[in-house]
Amino acid sequence: LKHLLTIEGLGPTWITRILDTAENFMSVSDREIKKVPLLRGRTVVNLFFESSTRTRTTFELAAKRLSADVLNINLSTSATTKGESLLDTLRNIEAMQADMFVVRHEQSGAAHFIARHVAPHVSVLNAGDGWHAHPTQALLDAFTIRRIKGDFAPLRIAIVGDVKHSRVARSQIHAFNSLNVGELRVIGPRTLIPNDIEPLGVRVFHDMRQGLKDVDVIIMLRLQRERMEGGLLPTEQEFYRLYGLTEEKLGWAKPDAIVMHPGPANRGVEIESRVADGPQSVILEQVSNGIGVRMAVMALCMSAES
């Protein structure tokens, strides 16, 4: 594994290897992931061109737990604001002996572009590019589900809300298909579900009660207004009434269904506070698991055998 740019092409063997490696890092204690010397002497550079709370900080923590040196480049105060091109910025950071770039960008394909232009020894990890992909989020979600539910084969998973603009949903669909999840559903209004999603092996529902019936895992998504370009879109109130996960709607799924959300969550828009903070919510476990999964991806990308 040289770069991690998308889930497509990774295949079940690599996905399982990443999840197993993360399990090893987290097996001692979820609260206290041990520091290991695997990336001692290596430099990881966080290049976030778009805002992030969870992804950036868990990548930083993961790199530090692997004993790497970490540089967080503040792009709002970097020389890109004085007209320096992305490639020149990259070349200069590379010259500081960088070994890995963790990249978030609002343009789909940005991580691929950077991967094509970095020196051969440098790994690039996609931390979210436009509408396209967020592979480590999908991996940490799969890890969270496997830890709680075990086998993927009997599971029915529903992804709810703004699937159309979601890089997270796209990566999750590829990951869950690779892992042979029993049934994968998307639920949402017609305007927020892509027309071409069914060939990806997904059942589409526009009615929340029908879509949540017998579901084991519910993944709520944020309305990604920053990527919407007009059209017939629901107001927040309409969306919440029809698709917002309230305690009542949660009762339509299996009694032991778990509730997930990649964050940032908008309470009262896609999820009710009592559900987000309730006993079936694993939203904060997702965040903690992100450290182990990102450690696994970084360690495997830097490992000589892979």
Minimum CB distance to ligand CP smaller for 67 or for 72: 72
Give the whole-angstrom CA distance, residue 131 versus residue 114.
17
In the region spanning residues 212 to 241, those forming contacts with ligand CP, defined by CB under 6 A, are: none
Helix and strand numbers (H, E) in the chain are: 11, 9
Q: How far is the CB of 52 from ligand CP (least distance, A)?
A: 3
Choose which of 182, 264, 273, 306 interacts with ligand CP (CB under 6 A).
264
Both tokens of residue 72?
């967080």
52 binds ligand CP (CB under 6 A): yes
Both tokens of residue 114?
């950077």
Minimum CB distance to ligand CP smaller for 52 or for 177: 52
134 annotated ligand binder: yes
Which parts of 67-188 are beta strand (E)? 69-73, 100-105, 123-129, 156-160, 183-187
Segment contacting ligand CP by CB under 6 A, of 49-57, 183-191, 216-224, 249-257 = 49-57
User: What three-state secondary structure class fits 219?
Assistant: strand
Q: Which of 281, 215, 210 is nearest to 246 (CA)?
A: 281
Segment contacting ligand CP by CB under 6 A, of 21-29, 62-70, 84-92, 256-264 = 256-264
DSSP for residue 45? E
Choose which of 115, 262, 301, 302 interacts with ligand CP (CB under 6 A).
262
Both tokens of residue 253?
């799924």
* Count of residues in contact with ligand CP, rule CB under 6 A: 9
In the region spanning residues 98 to 137, those forming contacts with ligand CP, defined by CB under 6 A, are: 128, 137
Which residue's CB atom is positioned nearest to ligand CP? 55
Give the whole-angstrom CA distance, residue 90 versus residue 4.
18
21 annotated ligand binder: no
Q: Using CB under 6 A as the criterion, which residues of the chain lie in contact with ligand CP when the complex forms?
A: 52-55, 128, 137, 262-264
